[in-house]
Amino acid sequence: MRHARRGRKLGREAQHRKAMLGTMAGQLFVHGRIKTTAPKAKELRGVVDRLINTAKKDDLSARRQAVKVLKDKTVVRRLFEDVAPGLDDRNSGYTRILKLGPRLGDGAETVYLELVNHTVE
């Protein structure tokens, strides 16, 4: 039974899902906006919120926790120096989901997931 088990499986094993969400979070911090499917975006929101809250602490332990998820030190540096300071006035709700409609190939609902303070160039 799956009583009180949270999170979507997204059709992947646990390690694959964890790696995918870490990579997607890193791309979101680099580009400010990513295009993905709705279930992935909804699952990624929690990962991104936790990473930004960790980055707001801005100490060595917080950086190490972020590296565990993101795996790339340049992305972690960008998170701590560019993204988190711009979101100091917020406690949560750092992302926005914009629906795009179904994908042509398989009909999956596609969305943009973007950071709320980021402007698209």
Q: Which pTM value belongs to this model?
A: 0.90
- Asked whether the CA dihedral 21, 23, 30, 100 is positive or negative, the reply is negative
**Which homologous superfamily does the CATH classification assign to the domain defined by 14-115?**
Ribosomal protein L17 (3.90.1030.10)
Q: In this structure, are residues 34 and 42 in contact, taking their beta carbons and an 8 Å threshold?
A: no
Q: pLDDT tens-digit profile of 11-38?
A: 899 999 999 999 999 999 999 999 999 9
34-83 pLDDT per residue, tens: 999 999 999 999 999 999 999 999 999 999 999 999 999 999 999 999 99
Sequence ranges of the domains in the chain: 14-115
